[in-house]
Amino acid sequence: MPRAHKQRRLAVGQPCPYCCRTMERLDHPRLAPTRDHVVPESRGGKEVIVACMQCNTTKADMLPDQWEAFMASNPGWWKLSKHELRLVLMIESVP
């Protein structure tokens, strides 16, 4: 079994390191464990951790600092609708 898949499979039932929700089965639309580059791969990051799908897709290419700030200023951000989330991300990306 490929290492990456095993890494994800082992994370089922574990809390996501970002949102602390329990990660679910591998085909879960939001809480599936996914491999997340701590520093985005597009920015040269190598370290990979397992985080839930929703965190991974929302974090996208944010740097760890930006992501921490985002989570800190939006507690329970995963409950926002897609529309609300887009607004928040838009506001926060303004320098």
Residues that contact Zn ion, how many (by CB under 5 A): 5
Token pair 């639309």 in the structure block, residue: 29
Among 16, 32, 50, 62, contact with Zn ion (rule: CB under 5 A): 16
The half-sphere exposure of 31 on its side-chain side, counting CA atoms within 13 A, is 14
Q: Which stretch binds Zn ion (CB under 5 A): 13-21, 41-49, 68-76, 81-89?
A: 13-21
Check if the beta carbon of residue 39 is closer than 8 Å to that of residue 64: yes
Among 33, 55, 62, 77, contact with Zn ion (rule: CB under 5 A): 55
Check if the beta carbon of residue 15 is closer than 8 Å to that of residue 21: yes
Residues that bind Zn ion (CB under 5 A): 16, 18-19, 52, 55
